[in-house]
Amino acid sequence: MKLKLARVENNLSQQELADIVNVSRQTIGLIEKGGYNPTLSLCIRIAKALNKTLDTLFWEESQND
């Protein structure tokens, strides 16, 4: 969900983000839904494209925090 929100904040479609980071639109969709675990390299490319940190986009906060 964090990825989708960041993508929308940057006024990018799934296809536009996919083109920037050199993956398919389906890959972005799966990552947003939690159905695909991206490589660290892809996470870094996505974070840079969205001007976010890896923690902001991909760190899962525990229920106890």
Q: How far apart are CA 13 and CA 19, in angstroms?
A: 10
**Would you place residue 49 in the very low, low, confident or very high pLDDT band (cuts 50, 70, 90)?**
very high
Return the CA Rg of the chain.
11
Considering the entire predicted model, what is its pTM? 0.87
Tell me the pLDDT of the chain averaged across its residues.
92
Q: Which helix (DSSP H) or strand (DSSP E) does residue 55 occupy?
A: helix 54-58
Q: How far apart are CA 29 and CA 2, in angstroms?
A: 13
CB–CB of 44/53 below 8 Å? no
Q: How far apart are CA 33 and CA 14, in angstroms?
A: 12
The domains of the chain, with CATH numbers, are: 2-56 (1.10.260.40)
pLDDT one-digit tens code per residue, 23-42: 999 999 999 999 999 999 99
